[in-house]
Amino acid sequence: MLYAVIGEDVPDSLARRLAVRPAHLERLKELQDAGRLILAGPCPAIDAQDPGPAGFSGSLIVAEFDSLEAARAWAAADPYATEGVFARVTVRPFRKVLPA
């Protein structure tokens, strides 16, 4: 089943986010290589493709996991969660409708 992982950044997270980004991307690449990643990306803190020093307010990941518990465990072990980039992480079941 698909799950949406919604991470909300702590204030002024940009430096910390950039420091752990390679490890975060490596975990996403593993999901992608396994054919389980639907989409992933950050939410700019301002209305701009490149927010510059404003940074990001969080991230959204949609991926396939065996269960809600497995999705939560994966999210809890992500470097953005373990290294203090995320203030809060929500994991919810997700049903893709479009594009078909």
Residue 29: pLDDT band with limits 50, 70, 90: very high
**pTM of the entire structure?**
0.95
pLDDT tens digits, residue range 53-67?
999 999 999 999 999
pLDDT tens digits, residue range 68-97?
999 999 999 999 999 999 999 999 999 999
Q: Is the pLDDT of residue 100 over 90?
A: no
Cα separation, 30 vs 37, in Å, equals: 9
**Mean per-residue pLDDT of the chain:** 97
| Interior/surface letters 27-43, b for 16+ CB within 10 angstroms, e for the rest | bbeebeeeeebbebebe
Q: Is the pLDDT of residue 12 over 90?
A: yes
